[in-house]
């Protein structure tokens, strides 16, 4: 088996059938041997019933809902193919682009279907947070990231397994693997695609998941490039210290040296911690 295509599904009874119907002829166009693994993540609607009647897929079922990332990890662990492709079950991604992603994987470790095509349906309420998170991740990675958390991509299985201890069980799985592979120097390619309006209700929780994404990016940055996290904090504290130092002189006619000293010394400590953490990361070979 050359390629395992993994689809996590949680309460996708309204769209999973049409996704699989469109995907089947696309898989037939592949020049590699393949298998399709669908992970039913404890669905409470008719998703499991529908999937059990489809004989050409390999169905794995979680007894309870464990999360998007947990479903992908279950599928990856169950596969023995050197390459894995992931695809959402909500009908938002163009299944017909899968052969192109597979073709481009010949000289890459991961090929991401970037939602930057001519027709992209991302809710307006999610766009500001998505843009900020992507730019923050790009700063940590040191390069522009067209799409941080696309749910359609082809990945080298051995590389994904290397980061299993970092990959979360929730929606942040794709964010984490993108950032981890970029900062660790793996070859990541992006191919633009259109992104359709989803079938059914989105499982994304805007506020909670946005905060979770930010926390995860920060943790990943600390793991791989800690100085990029510590240095901005150190710089802000140092500038605040200078502001207090000179501002107090102009406003009150005296220098508030104790407050300024605390801020400046704290900034030095943050910088020292960042340098020490960076040294540890470099010596550990990450």
Same-domain pairing of 156 and 249: no
CATH of the domain at 129: 3.90.550.10
Query: Which pLDDT value is given to residue 223?
Result: 77
CA dist 9 to 15, 38, 188, 208, 210, Å? 10, 7, 26, 21, 22
Q: Residue 276's pLDDT is what?
A: 85
What pLDDT, on a 0 to 100 scale, did the predictor assign at position 254?
Answer: 61
- Give how many domains the chain has, as a whole number: 2
R_g over Cα of the chain: 23
Given a contact cutoff of 8 angstroms between Cβ atoms, the answer to whether 108 and 188 are in contact is yes
Instruction: Examine the domain organization and report whether 42 and 155 are in the same domain.
Output: yes
Of 224, 247, 263, which residue is a domain's last?
224
For residue 21, the enclosing domain spans 3-224
Q: Are 236 and 218 in the same domain?
A: no
Residues, the chain, total? 286
Contact present, 155 and 83 (Cβ < 8 Å): yes
Q: Sheet containing 188-192: give its strands across.
A: 58-62, 34-41, 3-9, 83-86, 153-156, 110-114, 188-192
Q: Give the global pTM.
A: 0.79
Same-domain pairing of 251 and 203: no
The pLDDT of residue 262 = 86
What's the pLDDT score for residue 286?
A: 55
Nearest to 116 by CA among 23, 195, 207, 58: 195
Which pLDDT value is given to residue 255? 59
Q: Report the pLDDT value the prediction gives residue 140, as an integer from 0 to 100.
A: 86
pLDDT in tens, 93-115: 999 999 999 999 999 999 999 99
Q: Tell me, what's the pLDDT at 88?
A: 94
**Under a CB-based contact definition with an 8 Å cutoff, are residues 188 and 110 in contact?**
yes
Query: Are 75 and 207 within one domain?
Result: yes
Same domain membership, residue 176 and residue 236 = no
Q: What is the pLDDT of residue 283?
A: 67
Q: What is the pLDDT of residue 205?
A: 62
pLDDT score of 122: 67
Q: Which residues of the chain have a pLDDT value below 50?
A: none
């Amino acid at each position: 088996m050359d390629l395992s295509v993994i689809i996590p599904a949680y309460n996708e009874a309204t769209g999973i059938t049409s996704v699989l119907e469109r995907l089947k002829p696309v898989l037939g166009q592949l020049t590699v041997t393949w298998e399709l693994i669908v992970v039913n993540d404890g669905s409470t609607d008719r998703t499991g019933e529908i999937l059990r009647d489809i004989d050409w897929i390999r169905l794995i079922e979680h007894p309870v809902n464990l999360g998007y990332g947990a479903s992908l990890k279950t599928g990856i662990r169950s596969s023995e193919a050197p390459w894995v492709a992931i695809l959402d079950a909500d009908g938002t991604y163009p299944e017909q682009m899968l052969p192109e992603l597979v073709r481009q994987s010949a000289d890459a470790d991961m090929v991401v279907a970037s939602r930057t095509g001519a027709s992209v349906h991302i809710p307006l309420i999610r766009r500001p947070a998505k843009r900020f998170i992507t730019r923050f991740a790009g700063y940590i990675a040191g390069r522009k990231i067209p799409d941080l958390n696309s749910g359609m991509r082809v990945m080298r299985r051995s590389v994904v397994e290397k980061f299993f201890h970092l990959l979360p069980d929730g929606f942040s799985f794709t964010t984490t693997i993108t950032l981890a592979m970029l900062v660790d120097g793996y070859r990541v390619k992006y191919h633009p695609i259109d992104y359709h309006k989803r079938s059914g209700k989105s499982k994304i929780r805007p506020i909670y998941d946005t905060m979770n994404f930010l926390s995860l990016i920060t943790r990943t940055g600390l793991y791989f490039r800690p100085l990029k996290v510590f240095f901005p904090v150190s710089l802000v504290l140092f500038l605040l210290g200078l502001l207090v130092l000179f501002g107090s002189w102009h406003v009150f006619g005296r220098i508030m040296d104790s407050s300024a000293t605390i801020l400046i010394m704290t900034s030095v400590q943050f910088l020292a911690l960042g340098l020490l953490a960076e040294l540890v990361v470099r010596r550990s070979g990450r």
